[in-house]
Each structure stands twice: as structure tokens, then as C-alpha cells.
Chains A and B, each alone.
Chain A
Amino acid sequence: MRRLLNARPRGGGRLLLGLLPIAILVLLYLVASQARHAENPRDKILPTPAAMAQSMEIMALQEDPRTGEIPLVADTQASLTRLGIAMGAAALTTLVLGLSIGLLPYARAGLGPLVATISVIPPIAILPILFIVFGLGETSKIVLIFIGITPFMVRDLASHVGAIPEEQIVKAQTLGASTWLVALKVALPQAMPRLIDSVRFSLGPAWVFLISAEAIASDVGLGYRIFLVRRYLAMDIILPYVVWISLLAVVIDLLLLAWSRTAFRWAHTPGGRR
């Protein structure tokens, strides 16, 4: 008998094994929902799939008579715009600061402590400050996401760039590279796959900050909507919205991974020593 830690699932079995827990969870939900509805046909806590589909039809296909927009489309657009601008600004800032701190001893000495200090501030705690300074509009939400994720990303990228072997940096200099060219041609391309990874990992916290900000002060957005309909115990809208948000997160993650794999193939080829 082989040890358990040496037994490996293969091919189809592996896929089946992965789907099993998900199927069990879905089944449990259906059973529980059924049970509650048997007792009380107007139960709102565990809506049936049919009820969810019906509510989403209203949210995703019909215009809101007040605004003239389809709620799901408007919410998605608003949230993704906020998220996109914040992530873009964070990635750009990370690239500039991370490369500088990772490569230049003067930048490390000057900016390292500042970034380290900012990264320990809990972002939600300064949300009131952001609302006071930037108002309740788009800016404060975008800035919250930006402040929430950038310090971590900068530190991650700086340590990655700092870990480029000194031999490479010296070699580049013996080939005539200036500080600028070392940054542009040696450090930047090697930093990019890590930056994309870092954006992927930061998307989780970014969604948290986005939904928090939307929950507190907004009039459109995915987070705004689920906190709005919570007042009516509208689980038939909240649950599909959560699924939709998760789906968006997965798709963004896969797109970033695909970009990294095609644009930086060298970083993804497995292989022994370099």
C-alpha cells in the first residue's frame, strides 16, 4: 500500500475531485433552500435558483425607469472604471518607485522608510480623511484603492528588483550600460512579470476597498447595489451579484496571466539553472 502522500490523482479523476466539493456545496444550498421554502413559500434568506434568475432578469435586461440605465451594466461599468484607474495608477507608481528603490541606493535610503510607514496604515482607517479631502465623488474611492495596494506592491517589486544578481548589473555596466539603460533594459523587463503577478494578488484587496468605499458613499456600483438591496433582504439579487463579482475577478486574473505568459515567455519557461 502506497503512502497517502505519494498517491496522486490523474487526468479526469483530478478534475472530478476538484468539482466534487463545489457540487456538494451547491447541492447543500438547494436542499436547504427547498426546506425553507417548504416551510415558508415567501422565504427571502435562501432564494431558489428560479427566483434569482427572475430578479437578475430585471437587473440585467431591463432599464431602470428612474435612471434609464440597465442596473447591472451601469454598476459593472462604474466599478470596473474605478478599479481600472486605481490599478493602472498603482501599477505605474509601483514601476517607477519599485525600480528606483530596487536599483538606486539613494532612492532606497530616501524612500524606503516612507513606503514602509505608509504600508502599515490600515487604508480603511483613512477613508474618512479621503472623503473629507476629496469629497464623496469618484476620486476618494480611487484613492482608497490606490493607497490600499500601492505600498505593498512597491515593496514587493523593490525587493524583487533588488534581488537581481549583482553579477548581471555589473555585467551590464561592463557592456557600457548607463544607470538608465540598466533600468530600462535589464531591470524593467525582469520586473514586468513580477509586477503583473503583484497586480493579480492585489486585485483581492482592491475589490475589498472598492466595495467598502461604494458601500459607504456612492450612487452606482456593484458594492453600492448589494448594500442597497440588503435593506430589503434581497438575497435573490445579492447572491447573483457576488457570483458576478467573483466571475469578473477570475476573468481579470486570467487575462493578466495570459498577458504575462505571451509577453514574457522567458519568465514562464520551466528549466534548471539559468
Chain B
Amino acid sequence: MTPVLSFRDVWVEYGDHVVLEKVNLEVAKGAFVSIVGPSGAGKSTFLRLALGQEAPSRGSILLDGATLPPEPGPDRGVVFQRYSVFPHMSVLENVMFGARCEQAPLTGLLVGATRRQARADAVAILQQVGLGAALKAFPRALSGGMQQRLAIAQALITRPRILLLDEPFGALDPGVRLDMHELITGLWREHGLTILMVTHDIKEAFKLGTRVIAVDKRRHDPHAPHRYGSTAVYDFPLDDKRKTAIPKEIAAMTSGA
């Protein structure tokens, strides 16, 4: 089976500064891949590459076997740590935006049956993430956790091939974070999502993921630290039973982060 997303010998360099080197990675359909690593190791660069916000200096990135277009598109959904909802749209409008783009690319206006359908779809997904009672609220009136729920609903409405999460729960209180873990796991199972999540929370990575990838530098030159980039140094496939134990080497690597 073709992997949903594959990185083939990907390098990212800025001048002589190497951020990522020789990254090979395949994300299978239905996988929940967590990416962990110390700060500044290039975790987020992974997501920027997958989004198309950035192009690799060398190597190629494939989505469903085809070369990834060099800009964001509706085949990849995203939830950022902050600012991923539109402050000037109500909760309902935020989620209906995807349908507007798809069905009314010129005016952004929906009418009649298409509008009713888009609205019904949006309401359904909002109820699923627990925002059914706040359809008319503006994001500013929502708590941080609610805003992230909204961002997730908004991303799911276009049925992306892969959902990219960039520290999605990093700004939330611990209790809220647990609720969000439950929510995302439920959605992942129910919708059969493929998820790539970047996090600095090692426990979260192991709790949610079916696979954890640790990103760090394999080599280190003390005189020119920027000359070696990061790559996937560990790759743990997990089944439900092995999820509790976090391997020592990973715990050691990210404890300072």
C-alpha cells in the first residue's frame, strides 16, 4: 500500500546551516505519528515541509505517491498551537469556511441547498467536538481549549488526507489537555484519520501515537554545530500495550527540552 506521506532523503539547509539531513520517513494510512525532540532540533520544520510552507533543499516529499505541491492545500489539514481560527467569523462560520472555498471559489457565498448542507455538516462536526452550544460565539469569547476544538473541527470538515498538528495542546492547562487527548483519539478512531503531530511533551507523544519518532542530531561537531542537521534518530512503532513504558534513551534526550 502506498504510504500517505513519504519523505525521501530530505535535506533542509539555509546557506551552510543544516537543519534536517537525510530524513527518510513513511507515514502509513491510519497512523498517528508523534514527532518529539529537543527544542531547536527541527521538529516544526517537518510540519512546515509537509504543509508546503517550505520546500526541501534536496530530496522529495510525496503525498499519496505524488510529489507534494509547494504550497498548502486542502489535502492536508492543520491545527497550530495558536491563531488557527479566524477571529472575525463565528464558530459556525469558521467551520463552514472550507465548504465556501470548495463550492464558491469566486464569491465565497453559499445559497440554497448547498448552504443548508454545509451548515448541517458543520453543525454535526461541531457537536462532535463539543461546541454544539456555541455556534454563534466569536472565537475571542472561547477558552483556549474551546478554540483548539474549533480549529480541529474546522480542519476535519474538508476531510484531509493527513491531519498535521503543531504543538496543538501546548498552550492549554493540564486538565484541558487531558480532555483534548480524549477528543483527538476519539476523532482519529471514528474518522480513520492519519495524523502527524509535533509535540515537546514526551508523555503525550507516547500516549496518543501509534508510532513515535525522535528527531535529533546524529552527529555533532563542537566547532561548527550548525554543519550537521537533525534526522529521525529513533522510530518506535507502538501497540496499545507497550504505550506505558517510555524508552530510556528518549526520556534522556528530551528531558532537557
Interface positions of A (Cβ within 8 A of B):
165, 167-168, 170-178, 180-181, 184-186, 189-190, 264-267, 269, 271-274
Q: Do B83 and A165 touch (CB < 8 A)?
A: yes
Q: Do A185 and B97 touch (CB < 8 A)?
A: yes
Report the separation of the CA atoms of residues A174 and B100 in the bound assembly, to the nearest whole angstrom.
13
Known: A170-B72, A173-B71, A185-B100. A190 touches B88 (CB 8 A): yes
Q: Do B98 and A264 touch (CB < 8 A)?
A: no
Q: Do A176 and B154 touch (CB < 8 A)?
A: no
Q: Do A186 and B86 touch (CB < 8 A)?
A: yes
Tell me how far the C-beta of A273 lies from the nearest C-beta in chain B, rounded to whole angstroms.
Answer: 7
Please name 14 further chain A to chain B contacts, defined as beta carbons within 8 Å, in addition to the given A186-B86, A274-B140, sorted by A numbering. A167-B82, A168-B86, A170-B53, A170-B72, A172-B86, A174-B155, A174-B158, A174-B160, A175-B98, A181-B100, A271-B140, A271-B141, A273-B82, A274-B147
| Chain B window 104-120, contacts with chain A (Cβ cutoff 8 Å), 1 for yes, 0 for no | 01101000000000000
- Total cross-chain contacts (CB, 8 A): 93
Known: A165-B83, A181-B108, A266-B140. A174 touches B88 (CB 8 A): no
Q: Do B88 and A264 touch (CB < 8 A)?
A: yes
Report the separation of the CA atoms of residues A271 and B147 in the bound assembly, to the nearest whole angstrom.
13
Which residues of B58-102 are within 8 A (CB) of A?
A: 71-74, 76-78, 80, 82-89, 97-98, 100-102
Report the separation of the CA atoms of residues A274 and B146 in the bound assembly, to the nearest whole angstrom.
11
Q: Do A266 and B98 touch (CB < 8 A)?
A: no
Known: A173-B72, A269-B138. A178 touches B101 (CB 8 A): yes
> For residue A264, which residues in chain B have a CB less than 8 angstroms away from its CB?
88
Which residues of B116-141 are within 8 A (CB) of A?
A: 138-141
Ranked 5 nearest A-B pairs via Cβ: A176-B101, A173-B72, A165-B83, A176-B74, A167-B83
Q: Do A171 and B80 touch (CB < 8 A)?
A: yes
Tell me how far the C-beta of A1 lies from the nearest C-beta in chain B, rounded to whole angstroms.
Answer: 39
> For residue A178, which residues in chain B have a CB less than 8 angstroms away from its CB?
101, 105
Q: Do B73 and A173 touch (CB < 8 A)?
A: yes
Can you report 25 residue pairs joining A to B where beta carbons are below 8 Å apart? A165-B83, A167-B80, A167-B84, A168-B83, A168-B85, A170-B53, A170-B72, A170-B78, A171-B78, A171-B84, A171-B154, A171-B155, A173-B73, A174-B76, A174-B78, A174-B155, A174-B160, A175-B154, A175-B158, A180-B105, A181-B100, A181-B108, A185-B97, A266-B140, A269-B138
Report the separation of the CA atoms of residues A177 and B97 in the bound assembly, to the nearest whole angstrom.
9
Q: Do A174 and B105 touch (CB < 8 A)?
A: no
Tell me how far the C-beta of B4 lies from the nearest C-beta in chain A, rounded to whole angstroms.
Answer: 15
Interface centre among B72, B155, B158, B160 (most CB of A within 10 A): B72
Tell me which of B74, B85, B144 contacts A174 (CB under 8 A).
B74
> For residue B140, which residues in chain A have a CB less than 8 angstroms away from its CB?
266, 269, 271-272, 274
Chain B residue, CB-CB nearest to A188: B88
Query: Is residue B20 contacting chain A, with contact meaning CB distance below 8 A?
Result: no
Binding site of B, secondary structure by majority: helix, strand, loop or mixed?
loop
> For residue A168, which residues in chain B have a CB less than 8 angstroms away from its CB?
83-86
Which residues of B160-182 are within 8 A (CB) of A?
A: 160
> For residue B151, which residues in chain A have a CB less than 8 angstroms away from its CB?
171
Q: Do B108 and A176 touch (CB < 8 A)?
A: no
Tell me how far the C-beta of B12 lies from the nearest C-beta in chain A, rounded to whole angstroms.
Answer: 18
Chain B residue, CB-CB nearest to A178: B105
Q: Do A181 and B105 touch (CB < 8 A)?
A: yes
Tell me which of B51, B102, B108, B157 contacts A185 (CB under 8 A).
B108
Tell me how far the C-beta of A187 lies from the nearest C-beta in chain B, rounded to whole angstroms.
Answer: 10
Chain A residue, CB-CB nearest to B96: A175
> For residue A274, which residues in chain B have a CB less than 8 angstroms away from its CB?
83, 85, 87, 139-140, 147
Report the separation of the CA atoms of residues A190 and B89 in the bound assembly, to the nearest whole angstrom.
10
Report the separation of the CA atoms of residues A273 and B141 in the bound assembly, to the nearest whole angstrom.
9
Report the separation of the CA atoms of residues A264 and B140 in the bound assembly, to the nearest whole angstrom.
13
Chain A residue, CB-CB nearest to B71: A173
Report the separation of the CA atoms of residues A178 and B155 in the bound assembly, to the nearest whole angstrom.
16
